[in-house]
Structures are given as C-alpha cells and as structure tokens.
C-alpha cells in the first residue's frame, strides 16, 4: 500500500503522528479499504522510531458512522489487500467467510491497534456509531468534544454488540447492558463520568487539546511509556478480557448466522433506517441472483 486514499497521515508536532479518517462524505464509514489503510498507518507510526504518540482523528462533522454497510462485494474486497492475521477462507460459503472477514478486519485489527506499544489518543467529535467505537476503544486516551455522542445500536438489528466487545471494560457491566439493551446515545459528559472518555472540551479546542496532551506525553521516555501501557493492558487482560471477547465474538457470529437464516441477511433489517434497509435488501437480492 503506497498511498492513502481514505485517510491522511500527518506529523503535526515533533514526535507526534496524526492519522485522520478522511471520508467525511460518508461520515467516515469504514469500508475494507479504510480499515486496511488505517492498519497500515498505525503500523507506519509504530515502526517510526521518531514517533512517540499517535493521534487518531476524523475529518468532518462526525467521527464515524460505523461499518460501511453499503460496501458492494465486501468479502471479495478482501482479495485486494494483504491480510495481517492467520485466518483464511474469505470467499468460502456460509458463516465461514463472514467469520474470517470479521476476525481479520474487526476483532483482529482492533486487538492489534490496542497493543501498539506507543500511546494512542482518539479525538472524537459529533457522532461515533457502533463500528466507530471500535476505532476509539483500542486507543489509550479518548478526548471528546462537548457535542460528541456514542451509541452501539446493534441489538436493534438483531446482533449482540459490535465485534470488539469492549463494553463491559469501557463502562462497567451495568452501564454496558443499559447501553446495549436500549440503543440509547451516550453523551460526551456521561461518557466521561463513567470513565470511557478522559477529557471533554469545546469543539473548537479539540485539536489543540489533543496536541497538548500528545506533547506532554511525548516528553517522557518512550520505553517507559511502552512498559506502562503494557502494564495497564496486562491488568485488563488478567481479568479475562481476551477470553471474554472471544466468547462475545463467537456469539456475534451466531447472531449473524441466525439473521441469515431468518432474514436472508446478516442483520435484522427491521431496526434499520428505511433507506439503509432498502439498500441492504437490494444488495442481498443482487448477490442471490
Ligand atoms: Zn459482524
């Protein structure tokens, strides 16, 4: 991958790399290309010894509308990119291809990014929906603008939460259940009060707040930062995070397979906005014919 089409890779300050999602016309919907580019950008920043802190930001009014459900031939798109995990069978029939794709580009990528041995800061404005959470949760610090809103509405369309099931770790089990059962929005201030967000600032101060935090962190020795990140991550993992997420991921695949049996598509379309449901039906019918 030589060039970025769906994001920008910037060096806004010494020792700071900034990755900017740049599909504002789709509210930064995540198609296969965007996710592979993001993975490549994270790898680039991780391997650059000059970089000590990585910022993940997004262009436009909203951080991300989630996975791009309108992407045509999503499974076939996998062939365009070099996969980074060991899973295979991206064009197989039935549940096999879907599980392979989600294990590679959703759970697999998020886990990789969460384990990058450098501090990462997600900078969030506007709406951050479902798969959008899967970009910010793997980051170490989250700074949100006052107007930021978060939601995982997947239960509304017959799925038990996004593929990187970090909800209980991000907000505690009780709030996680409320968020998932109701599909309610979480405001920036509430997200901060439950520990999911570090700082909330006015939208016009968002970029500066992230750069100030990055500058402060970048003055520390990088090896100490790496070790500290490993230590905190290990504390979460000692509580069974990885095994719990594998279980959630398997249940998520069961939900997709159930929906495929009952509704002819991976999700229950009754919970979707009518135009998205129509587009999905058309895509499914096209595939079947
Ligand atoms: Zn899924």
**Global pTM value:** 0.94
Tell me, in angstroms, the distance from the centre of ligand 1 to residue 242's CA: 18
In this prediction, residue 71 has a pLDDT band, given cuts at 50, 70 and 90, of: confident
Tell me, in angstroms, the distance from the centre of ligand 1 to residue 161's CA: 9
Tell me, in angstroms, the distance from the centre of ligand 1 to residue 47's CA: 30
- What CA dihedral angle connects 220, 225, 227 and 233, to 10 degrees? 150
Tell me, in angstroms, the distance from the centre of ligand 1 to residue 53's CA: 30
Tell me, in angstroms, the distance from the centre of ligand 1 to residue 109's CA: 14
Tell me, in angstroms, the distance from the centre of ligand 1 to residue 16's CA: 33
> pLDDT digit string (tens) for 218-277?
999 999 999 999 999 999 999 999 999 999 999 999 999 999 999 999 999 988 778 877
Tell me, in angstroms, the distance from the centre of ligand 1 to residue 258's CA: 12
Does pLDDT of 127 surpass 70? Answer: yes
Among 82, 83, 276, residue whose Cα is nearest residue 266: 276
User: Residues 162, 167, 168, CA angle at the centre, nearest 5°?
Assistant: 140
Percentage of the chain lying above the pLDDT 90 cut: 86
Beta-strand pair 7-13/16-21: antiparallel
Does pLDDT of 73 surpass 90? Answer: no
Q: Give dist(CA 65, CA 54) in Å, integer.
A: 22
Asked: is 7-288 a CATH 3.40.50.1260 domain? The reply is: no
Output the CA–CA distances (angstroms, integers) from residue 181 to 138, 174, 277, in the order listed.
23, 11, 21
Tell me, in angstroms, the distance from the centre of ligand 1 to residue 266's CA: 8
Tell me, in angstroms, the distance from the centre of ligand 1 to residue 182's CA: 19
Domain boundaries of the chain, sorted by first residue:
7-288
Q: Give the residue ranges of DSSP H helices in the chain.
A: 32-47, 74-77, 95-102, 109-114, 133-136, 167-171, 173-182, 188-193, 206-218, 222-238, 241-263, 274-288
> pLDDT digit string (tens) for 198-218?
999 999 999 999 999 999 999
In this prediction, residue 282 has a pLDDT band, given cuts at 50, 70 and 90, of: confident
Tell me, in angstroms, the distance from the centre of ligand 1 to residue 181's CA: 17
């Amino acid at each position: 991958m030589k060039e970025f089409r769906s994001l920008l890779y910037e060096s806004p300050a010494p020792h700071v790399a900034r990755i900017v999602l740049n599909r504002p016309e789709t509210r930064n919907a995540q198609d296969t290309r965007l996710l592979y580019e993001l993975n490549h950008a994270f790898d680039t920043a991780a391997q650059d010894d000059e970089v000590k802190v990585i910022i993940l930001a997004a262009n436009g009014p909203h951080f991300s509308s989630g996975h791009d459900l309108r992407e045509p031939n999503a499974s076939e798109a996998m062939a365009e990119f070099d996969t980074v995990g060991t899973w295979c069978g991206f064009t197989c029939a039935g549940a096999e291809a879907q599980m392979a794709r989600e294990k590679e580009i959703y759970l697999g990528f998020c886990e990789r990014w969460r384990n990058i041995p450098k501090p990462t800061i997600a900078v969030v404005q506007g709406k951050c929906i479902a798969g959008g959470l899967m970009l910010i949760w793997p980051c170490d610090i989250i700074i949100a603008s006052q107007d930021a809103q978060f939601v995982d509405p997947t239960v509304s369309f017959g799925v038990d939460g996004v593929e990187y099931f970090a909800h209980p770790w991000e907000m505690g089990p009780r709030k996680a259940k409320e968020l998932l059962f109701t599909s309610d929005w979480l405001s920036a201030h509430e997200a901060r009060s439950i520990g999911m967000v570090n700082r909330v600032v006015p939208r016009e101060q968002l970029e500066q707040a992230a750069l100030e935090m990055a500058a402060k962190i970048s003055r520390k020795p990088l090896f100490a930062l790496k070790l500290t990140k490993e230590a905190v991550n290990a504390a979460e993992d000692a509580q069974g995070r990885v095994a719990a997420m594998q279980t959630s991921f398997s249940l998520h695949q069961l939900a997709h397979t159930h929906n495929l049996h009952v509704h002819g598509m991976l999700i229950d379309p009754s919970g979707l906005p009518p135009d998205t449901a129509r587009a999905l039906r058309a895509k499914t019918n096209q595939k079947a014919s």
